[in-house]
Structure 1
Amino acid sequence: MAALGTRGTLTEAAGFNAEEDVQSLRSAMKGAGTDEAAITAVLAHRTNAQRQRIKEAYKQTVGKDLAEDLSSELSGNFRSVVLGLLMLPTVYDAFELKSAIKGAGTEEACLIDILASRSSNEINAINAFYKKEYGESLEDAVEGDTSGMFKRVLVSLLTAGRDEGNNVDKAQAAQDAKEIYEAGEARWGTDEVKFLTVLCVRNQNHLMQVFEEYQKISGKSIEDSIKREMSGCLEDVFLAIVKCMRSKPMFFAERLYKSMKGLGTTDSILIRIMVARAEIDMLDIKAEFQKMYGKTLHSFIKGDTSGDYRKILLELCGGE
């Protein structure tokens, strides 16, 4: 099986042997302590497809579930990374969304990060798995846990109705830009529905044209207008959509930076992006990170995390 993407730090391990990896993992879990370095050496250097084969071989050889065994042996952030690596991408996204919704509060950042950045096909796959695994639709779960226009934007994204084509209708783009301007900057109060209609439905190429037209009409970027016109989670989700349309690697580089700068690290965001993007576009994210912040992602992770958690993230990062 080929890797999920061509711009990831994770590529297929040469001479891959699932049975040998199973033995390495079993040895790492034997005895009084757990050898986290041995676990990292295997799981942080295999593609998702290879990790699925290791899981199958483990069940055949040992008669137990690898994720369950590792879960009982590990703890904290290191366990979160390892368990994330063992899931299929769709399963991991669904699991993260479920975790963001359940419990006392909602982790809006997770809902935004995933739903604003995934393709229509990916969202359809997440919806299908979520319903099968958790017994309710993701849309119902989101509707029950969010409110107002923020909820409406998330529900729109969940319909996976974005045009995935490449066509740009210049006249329509000019009209879209005009309507967004008139719904925001040009009036008292903001008609957020117009922003939703354009930002959640049009294809990427078309939106790039809309953003260009908007700059001409208003004299400012669409991002600046969103910041002026909106606040809170609604501002966050619209900005995320715009940034993902412009450049997903740039969006994720910024998310990683913000998860580590200042007091404390937002581990959930850091883990989610490192696990989900390692095989897709981590090389591009690293390049954008260095360009935007003048430091390597590797050095940031090194300075902001510790122990085995740091080591596995640095392996996923793929060096300086």
Structure 2
Amino acid sequence: MALVSEFLSHLTLAHGEEAEPTYPTVTAVRDFDPIRDAARLDAAFRTKGVDEQSVIDILTRRSIDQRQEIAFEYERLTKKELQTALKGALSGSLEALMLGLLKSPAHYSAMELKAAVKGLGTDEETLIEMVCSRNHREMSDIQKVYRELFKKDLEKDIAGDTSGDFAKLLLALIQTERDRPSNVVDYEKIDHDARSLYEAGVQRKGTDVDVWISILTQRSVPHLQRVFERYKSYSPYDMKESIQKEVKGDLEKSFLTLVECLENKQAYFADRLNEAMKGKSAKEKVLTRIVVSRCEVDLMKIRREFKKRHGRSLYRAFSEHTKGDYQKALLSLCRGDD
């Protein structure tokens, strides 16, 4: 059954990389009763015009494990998959958001990556955001689920849809496991890497992209944060300014995204959310992808960064730039004003 494979895909594989601390806005609810929630959802779908508020209240206030228990009980109760019921009852951005919440993080990311490489034209923006912001453990889980869902390797699909140094960087991020963070600060290695980045870029004519890829995809995050500081003692530009001077196009965007995520991943996502709400209409696909992906990871910290960097709360921004039931769902996942 699809439900069983989805549950198994949520089990985290054991990797050498240390787990990152989490700052979720959505956590497991106490006094959880999946049978009661399944019955409430069934009643909401049967209501004339659909009781969207009940659907939002239940699915945005349960953890992924609890949502999958609800889905199991719903199928047992109605002999119909919850995903199918949601598709029949909802539409547009609200439907996409609720369906996203039913998937494990790896399953959801695999589906988003497949959408980015499928058909005519590649969605480079989504590819860059997702590949550059995931750690090796997350990417390994995504690769496994991608293979199970589509009977293809993620690396092959990306290699077939991208080219040159851009493809080389994305594939290195997918395949390479970073060094484990160490309690011992290796100042000699920090200096060596900072100097190597400078000599491979700003100091010479033409950029030795292979050196940049090697260092930026292999070293631990704390090590690279120190490297970026040390880099300023060699170069008249910081690392991001150097990238902008040395490379262009998708390679520039991906290197910049990678460095921003290495420096402060939550600030990167705060800026992405802010960018998605500029202009006359919000980019709801981007909002949905980030909120679904991060609400049980670090959305609380993203909220703080958003307020600090953009002078208003994320809650206020959602209130101003989205509307209707979709807005209600985003606000519920956001969990509060800052």
TM range (shorter): over 0.9
Query: How does 1:33-72 map onto structure 2 within 5 Å?
Result: 33-72=49-88
Runs of 4+ in structure 1 displaced over 4 angstroms?
A: none
* Counterpart selection for 1:95 from 89, 111, 124: 111
Cα distance in 1 between the residues matched to 2:202 and 2:90: 52
In structure 1, the residue corresponding to 2:234 is in which secondary structure?
Answer: helix
Cα distance in 2 between the residues matched to 1:29 and 1:23: 10
Cα distance in 1 between the residues matched to 2:229 and 2:22: 30
Deviation by residue 1:21-58 (Cα, 9 ceiling, x = unmatched):
11111111114422211100100110111101101111
1:224 aligns with: 241
Cα distance in 2 between the residues matched to 1:314 and 1:46: 14
Query: How does 1:267-306 map onto structure 2 within 5 Å?
Result: 267-306=284-323
Distance 1:6 1:212, change over 3 A: closer
Cα distance in 2 between the residues matched to 1:129 and 1:63: 25
1:7 aligns with: 23
> Residue 179 in 1 paired to residue 201 in 2?
no
Cα distance in 2 between the residues matched to 1:234 and 1:267: 25
- Structure 1, unmatched stretches of 5+, are none
Q: 1:9, 1:283 within 8 Å by CA — same for their partners in 2?
A: yes
Cα distance in 2 between the residues matched to 1:12 and 1:103: 37
Cα distance in 1 between the residues matched to 2:174 and 2:150: 16
Cα distance in 1 between the residues matched to 2:22 and 2:152: 34
Cα distance in 1 between the residues matched to 2:326 and 2:53: 10
- How far did residue 5 of structure 1 move? 6.6
Aligned residues: 317
Deviation by residue 1:40-98 (Cα, 9 ceiling, x = unmatched):
01001101111011011111111111011111221110011000000011101101101
* Counterpart selection for 1:204 from 213, 221, 237: 221
Q: Which amino acid in the other structure matches residue 235 of structure 1?
A: E
Q: 1:168, 1:205 within 8 Å by CA — same for their partners in 2?
A: no
Q: 1:120, 1:164 within 8 Å by CA — same for their partners in 2?
A: no
Q: Which amino acid in the other structure matches residue 194 of structure 1?
A: V
Deviation by residue 1:103-162 (Cα, 9 ceiling, x = unmatched):
222111211122112121111111111011101100000011111111111110110422
Cα distance in 1 between the residues matched to 2:74 and 2:44: 13
Distance 1:286 1:183, change over 3 A: same
1:128 aligns with: 144
Cα distance in 2 between the residues matched to 1:44 and 1:174: 46
Q: Which amino acid in the other structure matches residue 75 of structure 1?
A: S
- How far did residue 298 of structure 1 move? 0.7
Cα distance in 1 between the residues matched to 2:135 and 2:334: 23
In structure 2, the residue corresponding to 1:84 is in which secondary structure?
Answer: helix
Let me know the Cα RMSD of the aligned residues: 1.4
Q: 2:181, 2:223 within 8 Å by CA — same for their partners in 1?
A: no
1:310 aligns with: 327
Cα distance in 2 between the residues matched to 1:95 and 1:262: 27
Q: Which amino acid in the other structure matches residue 13 of structure 1?
A: V
2:13 aligns with: none
Cα distance in 1 between the residues matched to 2:22 and 2:140: 23
Q: 1:5, 1:279 within 8 Å by CA — same for their partners in 2?
A: no
Q: Which amino acid in the other structure matches residue 164 of structure 2?
A: G
Q: 2:266, 2:298 within 8 Å by CA — same for their partners in 1?
A: yes
In structure 2, the residue corresponding to 1:216 is in which secondary structure?
Answer: coil
> Residue 259 in 1 paired to residue 282 in 2?
no
- How far did residue 235 of structure 1 move? 1.1
Cα distance in 1 between the residues matched to 2:79 and 2:185: 54
Identical positions, percent: 38
- Structure 2, unmatched stretches of 5+, are 1-19
* Counterpart selection for 1:233 from 250, 257, 274: 250
